[in-house]
Amino acid sequence: MKSLKILAVDDHKMTMLGYKYILEDFDFKDFKVKMDMEDSFDSGKLKIEEEVKKDSPYDIILLDIQLSPIKEGYSRTGEDLGIISRKISPNSKIVFLSSFSDNYRINSIMQTVNPEGYMVKTEINEDALTDMVNTVLTAPPFYTKKALIAIRNRMSTNIHLDDNDKKLLYYLSIGTKTKDMVEFVSLSLSGIENRKRQLKEIFGVDKENDYKLITAAKEKGFI
Amino acid sequence: MKSLKILAVDDHKMTMLGYKYILEDFDFKDFKVKMDMEDSFDSGKLKIEEEVKKDSPYDIILLDIQLSPIKEGYSRTGEDLGIISRKISPNSKIVFLSSFSDNYRINSIMQTVNPEGYMVKTEINEDALTDMVNTVLTAPPFYTKKALIAIRNRMSTNIHLDDNDKKLLYYLSIGTKTKDMVEFVSLSLSGIENRKRQLKEIFGVDKENDYKLITAAKEKGFI
DNA sequence: CAAAAACCACAGAAATTTTAAGGTTTTTGT
DNA sequence: ACAAAAACCTTAAAATTTCTGTGGTTTTTG
C-alpha cells in the first residue's frame, strides 16, 4: 500500500507524538501514513529540502505557528517556514496548527501562505485530524470552526489598511504613546493623529477612546 | 416540542418543496421544523415583516440568489432581500443558496449580508441541509465546499480595488470597448487606459491580453 | 494642579492621480 | 492586403489628495 509522507514541525514534541500515533494507526482507504517530526525552524526547513532533493517531497506539512522561542537575532515563525515551504516544495499541502484562534495571524497566513488547511488546536481530535488529511489531499481547504469564524469576520468587511495604518494600530495596541509613534510609523505627528481619527471613523468608533478602536480592529482581524 | 420557523424564498417552487419535505420530516434533537415558502422578493419581504410584527420572527431565512426575473424597472435580487432581512429581522439566521459558485457574488454577499450560511445547490443533499440547520443555529458559519473555495481564493489576495477599477473590470468582462467606457466609468479615456495597465500589473498579467486579466480577476472573485 | 500627552483646525508643501495631446502599434472589417 | 478604428504608450500640466508644520484647546497623568 502506498505510504503518505507527512512532516510535522512543532516545538511541543509530545503534541506531535499524539498526532503521529493517531495518523499512523488510522486505517486510511488508499494509503498508510508515515510521519516525520522536527522541532525547530531550521531542522524543519532542512528536512523539507532533503526530501525534495530526493524527489520524494512530503505530501502534507503540518506547521505550528509558534516555533522555537526567539533565537539569537530575529525569530523565525511557522508562518515564515510556510512561505519558504511553498517555494521549495510546491506540491506539498500545507496545514497550520495554532494554539489559539488569533484573528490577525490567521488572516495574515491566508495571504502569505494560503494554506490548504488551518486548525485551531483546541478543536483537534482524532476525527478532525483524519478528516483533515483526507480533505486536504482531495478537496481542500480544511478549516476548523474557529479558523472559519476568524475568516468570516475578516471577509465581512472591506476595510483596506495600508502599512502605516497597520503599524499604527499595532503600536497602539501595545500601548505606544502617539507622540512616540513617529519613530516607527513614517508619518509626522499630525499625520499620525489624522490617521487615527480616520481609523476611528472607518471602524465606526468615532469620538470614542482608543480601546474601542483596538477592540474593533482585533475583532475584524487587523491586529 | 418546540417548533423551528424557517422561511424559504426561491422562485423554483419544486426545489423549495424538496427542502421542505426533508427538513420537516427530519428528526432534529430539540425541535420540529415548520417551513414557509415564498417565491418572490416582495412576498418574501412581506412575510418576514409580518412574522416580526407578530413577535415570532423566523429562526432561519433561506434565500435563493436569483429571484424573479427582472421585474418592471429594476430587479431585486436575493442579495437585496438579505440586506433588508438583516435590518428588519436581525435575530434570524440568513443562509444563501446559489445555483452555481460565482466567486464575485459570494464575496459580495459576504460583505453586504455576512450570512450565517452559504450553500451551492449542487452540493446540497439531505445531510448537508440538516447539518446546515444545526450549525447555523448553534455555531455558525456553515459554508459548503465550493463556497469555501471561493472565499479562500479571495482571502488569499490583498488586492484592493476602488469603484472605478471594479466597474472597469466589469465592463471589460462584458466586452465593452475601452473607448466606450468613458460613459460608465468616471475617468477620461487616458485615465481608463492607465488603470487598465495598472490592473494588469496588480493581477500579475502585465503585457498580456484582456482575457487573461478578466480570468485572473474572476478567479479571485472581483468580477 | 501643573506638566504631558492627546486632540483639533488650517494653510501651505508634497505627493499622487488625472487629463489632454501627441504619437505608435495592433486589431478589425472588407 | 489595406485602410480605418481601436488600443496602447509617453509626457507635461492640471487637479486632487495627502502630509506637514504651526498654534492652539482639551484631556489625562503623576
Nearest CA among A161, A150, A90, A93 for reference residue A123 = A150
Dihedral angle of Cα B95, B100, B103, B106, to the nearest 10 degrees:
-10
**What is the arithmetic mean of pLDDT over B100-126?**
95
CA-based Rg of chain A, rounded to a whole angstrom? 20
The model's pLDDT over B8-63, given as tens digits with 9 standing for 90+, comes to: 999 999 999 999 999 999 999 999 999 999 999 999 999 999 999 999 999 999 99
DSSP label at residue A144? -
So what's the pLDDT on residue A142?
A: 98
**pLDDT tier for residue B192 given thresholds of 50, 70 and 90:** very high
In Å, what is the separation between the CA of B206 and the C1' of C28? 24
B111 at A interface, C-beta within 8 A: yes
Whether the Cβ atoms of residue A81 and residue A45 lie closer than 8 Å to each other = yes
Taking the C-alpha atoms of residue A14 and residue A23, their distance in angstroms, rounded to an integer, is: 14
Which residue, chain included where needed, has cell 497602539? A172
**pLDDT tier for residue B75 given thresholds of 50, 70 and 90:** low
So what's the pLDDT on residue B71?
A: 55
So what's the pLDDT on residue B156?
A: 94
Q: Across-strand partners of B63? A: B9, B96
Distance from the Cα of residue A132 to its chain's centroid: 16
Which residue, chain included where needed, has cell 472581483? B222
So what's the pLDDT on residue A66?
A: 86
Nearest CA among B45, B41, B35, B42 for reference residue B15 = B35
Taking the C-alpha atoms of residue B35 and residue B37, their distance in angstroms, rounded to an integer, is: 7
So what's the pLDDT on residue B206?
A: 85
Which residue, chain included where needed, has cell 476568524? A150
Residues near chain D strand, CB within 7 A: A 164, 186-191, 194-195, 209; B 177-180, 190, 193-194, 196-197, 207, 209-210
**Closest Cβ opposite residue B151 in set A111, A155, A158:** A155
Closest-lying nucleotide for B177 based on CA to C1': D6
Sites in chain A below the pLDDT cut of 70: 68-75
> In percent, how much of chain B has pLDDT > 70?
96
| Residue whose CA lies closest to nucleotide C18 C1' | B191
A148 at B interface, C-beta within 8 A: yes
**Closest Cβ opposite residue A157 in set B111, B156, B158:** B111
Whether the Cβ atoms of residue B82 and residue B41 lie closer than 8 Å to each other = no
Q: Which of B109, B155, B166 to mutate: most A Cβ within 10 Å? A: B155
- Would you state the cell numbers that stand for residue A123, as one nine-digit string? 478543536
**What is the arithmetic mean of pLDDT over B107-119?**
96
Task: Find the closest chain B residue to A160 by CA distance.
Answer: B160
